[in-house]
Structure 1
Amino acid sequence: MELTAKDMEIKIGKKEIVKNVSIHVKKQQFVGLIGPNGCGKSTLLKSIYKSLVPQQGMVFLDDLDVLKTSEKKISQRLGVVGQFNEMHFDLSVQQMVMLGRTPHKKMLESDKQEDFEIVEEALITTNLLEYKNRGFLSLSGGEKQRVILARTIAQQPKFMILDEPTNHLDIRYQIEILSCVKSLNIGVLAALHDLEMAAHYCDYLYAIKEGEVYAHGTPEEVLTSDTIQALYQIKCQTYTNPVTNGLSFAYGI
């Protein structure tokens, strides 16, 4: 499933946050949004998954008009993993992941054997099967984020949006979550802060600056010293990491 967002404009109050941005994610492509805090990455994503209403623009999943389609129908195709997932009441991990089946059910429909099988598979995929009877609130931040990913996988989406899902996690959980998403072989659009993670996992990048697309292309094309300095106002030297054989970065001010 492909995603196209065209001519997106978003204002919050009188401030224009996203300015005429267009992006495209091909089938099974992992596309990243990079840029400094406040540049509009998350605002753009929220407008794509209908958490915010854009003042202008169109969003399509293949030929499905996202902005004109019901949330339930969208949720059958599109899954979202966000940055913050705080709760004020507790559910077991299995119950949390079962919530991912909600878009596929009628009102008050009970869980079926197929739902339990899908949930168990999602727990296996995210290495959480042994946690299924644990309370969600008892987990660490990284474990909670894996539960949210498992819940999203249980939706069986054809496309996934990651709204800075690893921003507050240590390196182990960043790798676990992004590797798991990459292995799903579906279209992904992700806002990422860590440039090495973006270089390693993304097939294509959009660099956002002050609400506009500053550059786009492969990681090698976008993650240059000049572009990084323009985005983040820091000096940067790129080099090939001998461990990963991918891009790495040395920073200075």
Structure 2
Amino acid sequence: MELTAEKIEVKRGKKEIIKNISVFVKDKQFVGLIGPNGCGKSTLLKSIYKSLIPQSGSVFLDDLDVLKSSEKKVSQRLGVVGQFNEMNFDLTVEQMVLLGRTPHKKLLEPDKQDDYQIVEEALRRTQLLEYRRRSYLSLSGGEKQRVILARTIAQEPQLMVLDEPTNHLDIRHQFEILSCVKQLGISVLAALHDLELAVAYCDYVYAIKDGEVYAHGKPEEVLTSELIEDLYQIRCQTYVNPVTHRLGFAYEL
């Protein structure tokens, strides 16, 4: 599935948060959004998955007009994993993941055997089979994030949006979450803070600054010392990691 978001503009009062941004995700491509806090990454993603409605612009999933379609129809194709997933009520892990089947069901339609099989596979992919009877509220932050990912996998989306899903997780859980998503083989648009993760997982990146696309291209082409300093106001030397053979970063604090 391809995502085409064109000429997106978002304002809060008189302030422009997103300024005429266009973003494209090809079928089965992993695309990253990078940039400093407050640059507009999360606002852009919210306008793409319709958590907020942009003042202008268009969003299409293949031929589906996202901004003019029902939430249910959009949710059958697009899934979202955010960075904060607190709840005021409790469910078991399995019950939480079953909620991912909601877009594919009629009102008050009971869960069927197929739904449970899909949930079982989602729990397996996220290494949560042993947690299925556990209380969601009893879990750690990293475990909760895996449950939310499992719920989104059970939704069977053709494109997944990750809104800084690893922001508050330790290194192990960051890699677990992104590796699991990568292995799904679907289209992904992810806002990421960690440039090492962007290099490791992204096929293409958009660098966002002050609500605009500052640069875009393959990670190794975009993430230069000069661009990183312009974006983050910190001096940085790039190098090829001799172990991973990927781009690495040495910051001058």
Normalising by the residue count of structure 2, what TM-score does the alignment of the two structures yield? Answer: 0.99
Cα drift, residue 237 of structure 1: 0.4
1:30 aligned partner: 30
Q: Give secondary structure in 1 for the equivalent of 2:57.
A: strand
| Equivalences for residues 164-243 of structure 1 within 5 A | 164-243=164-243
One-letter amino acid of the structure 2 residue matched with residue 90 of structure 1: D
Q: What letter matches 1:49 in structure 2?
A: Y
The corresponding residue for 2:81 is 81
Shift of 1:14: 1.9
Report the count of equivalent residues: 253
Q: Counterpart amino acid of 2:45?
A: L
TM-score (norm 1): 0.99
Q: What amino acid sits opposite 2:94 in the alignment?
A: Q
Quick check: 1:69 aligned with 2:69?
yes
After TM superposition, the structure 1 = structure 2 runs for residues 71-150 of structure 1, keeping only pairs within 5 Å, are: 71-150=71-150
* Structure 1 residues without counterparts, runs of 5 or longer: none
Matched, 1:163 2:163: yes
What is the Cα deviation at residue 242 of structure 1? 2.2
Counterparts of 1:42 and 1:252 in 2: how far apart (Å)? 27
Aligned CA-pair RMSD: 0.6
Secondary structure (helix, strand or coil) at the match of 1:190 reads strand
Deviations 1:162-211 (A, max 9, x none): 00000000000000000000000100000000000001100000000000
How far off its partner does 1:89 sit?
A: 1.0
Alpha-carbon deviations, 1:211-240, whole Å to 9, x = none? 000000000111100000000011000111
| Cα distance per residue 1:147-166 (max 9 Å; x no partner) | 00000000000000000000
1:243 to partner: Cα distance: 2.5
What is the letter of the counterpart of residue 17 of structure 2?
I
Following TM superposition, by how much is the alpha carbon of 1:12 offset from its aligned partner in structure 2, in angstroms? 1.4
Q: Which range moves more in the overlay, 11-20 or 68-77?
A: 11-20
Q: CA deviation at 1:113?
A: 0.5
Aligned residue identity for 2:126: T
**Is it true that 1:16 corresponds to 2:16 in the alignment?**
yes
Q: Secondary structure at the match of 2:67?
A: helix
Stretches of structure 2 that go unaligned for 5 or more consecutive residues are none
**Distance in 1, Cα, partners of 2:236 & 2:81:** 30
Q: CA deviation at 1:133?
A: 0.4
Give the match's secondary structure for 2:87: coil
Runs ≥4 residues deviating over 6 A: none
Query: Which residue does 2:55 correspond to in 1?
Result: 55
Residue identity over aligned pairs, in percent, reads: 77
